[in-house]
Structure 1
Amino acid sequence: MAEAIDPIRPFSDLDHDHDGVLSSAEAHASPRIGADWQRLDANGDGVIDRSEIGKVLDETPPTAEEADR
């Protein structure tokens, strides 16, 4: 799956409002992430945080704020 995520658009570039999560609109800016939206939103809260996408991308662990969500 990692190769299916758009490597040119890292999480921080997609997070336009810099709130630490990707809304549906932000995630869909990358067709590959948007197409896998439901699977990536593992906890079903309507947003994708670094911990959720990091499982796929092997990215940096979530910040303390993200971990508290």
Structure 2
Amino acid sequence: MKKVIFATGLFLAAATAFAVTDKLDPQLVAKKAESIEKVDVIAKLDQDKDGKLTIKEAMSDPVLLASFGKIDTDGDGQISQSEMEAAKLTEQEQGS
């Protein structure tokens, strides 16, 4: 019973999110999606769940691994959320 209630709530939340998204600025939605995507990369690869990626944790993503030194701007051997976001902004500026 709890699973049915939870699934129904999840469905209603998703339906509401899609309905609201139609009324939002497409650029804002895209920017938010990119931010979530970067958070997902950290969440997905962060084995010790400290909110940062080490080079060892980044080894399973060849693209991230190849860019590790550029993204790790403070040189501490870890990629923080702010460094990941800054790398995405730099990538967007260069693409413009």
**Considering the TM-score relative to the shorter chain, is it more than 0.5?**
yes
Question: How many angstroms does 1:28 deviate by?
Answer: 1.7
**Among the aligned pairs, what percent are the same residue?**
33
What is the TM-score normalised by the length of structure 2? Answer: 0.48
CA distance, structure 2, for counterparts of residue 50 and residue 19 of structure 1? 11
8 Å contact kept, 1:28–1:35: no
Three-state SS of the structure 2 residue aligned to 1:43 is coil
8 Å contact kept, 1:24–1:37: yes
Q: 2:66 aligns with which of 32, 35, 43?
A: 35
Which ranges of structure 2 fall in alignment gaps of 5 or more residues? 1-36, 90-96
CA distance, structure 2, for counterparts of residue 33 and residue 54 of structure 1? 13
2:90 is equivalent to residue 48 of structure 1? no
CA distance, structure 2, for counterparts of residue 49 and residue 35 of structure 1? 16
What is the TM-score normalised by the length of structure 1? Answer: 0.65
Q: CA RMSD in A?
A: 1.7
Which ranges of structure 1 fall in alignment gaps of 5 or more residues? 1-6, 59-69
Runs of 4+ in structure 1 displaced over 3 angstroms?
none
Larger Rg: 2
Count the aligned residue pairs.
51
